[in-house]
Amino acid sequence: MDGRDRLCAFVAELLSLLRSRDQDVLWSSFATVEDAIAELEHLRDRIADGDPDARRRLKLLCSPTGAIEEIAISSGWADTWVRLVDGKYRSAWS
């Protein structure tokens, strides 16, 4: 699995988490969880096509204090978030 495939798999797991229950987006840059989902779906498609700007945008959203991390912390799945971004998919970011 190459870097693009791993990032797309990461986004797929992230989308599953976002859809699994109510999410608190208050501290994120998104007005609604649906907005976050729509952007992540769009980024996943662009990453699959090899768009480096999409990869950079995803990295920004997922960085410490980024919008996705803020949703994870506020919504009670910070431990799962850390396991994904710093564990299972760590190599996808390089």
Global confidence as pTM: 0.92
Helix (H, G, I), strand (E, B), or coil: what is residue 20?
A: helix
Report helix, strand and coil shares of the chain as percent, to nearest 5: 75, 0, 25
Give the chain's mean pLDDT.
94
Structural domain boundaries, residue 85:
3-20+29-93
48, 4 contact by CB (below 8 A) = yes
Question: What is the pLDDT, as a whole number, of residue 91?
Answer: 84
Average pLDDT over residues 14-23: 96
Give the number of domains in the chain. Answer: 1
